[in-house]
Amino acid sequence: MVEVRFAFIGSLEGVKCTLDGEVKVLRRRRV
């Protein structure tokens, strides 16, 4: 169970990183 939780949290962090990266790119394109 612990391993699954860490894997789930890791995936969420990865999604957040990708979303943040996309937002930064969109902001750069707008500017």
What are the per-10-residue average pLDDT scores of the chain (31 residues)?
77 88 88 72
- Report CA-CA distances (Å) from 23 to 5, 7, 8, 11: 27, 24, 23, 18
Note the pLDDT of residue 2. Answer: 75
Note the pLDDT of residue 12. Answer: 85
Q: Which domain holds residue 28?
A: 1-31
7, amino acid identity: A
Structural domains counted in the chain: 1
Note the pLDDT of residue 3. Answer: 83
Structure tokens at 25: 């790119």
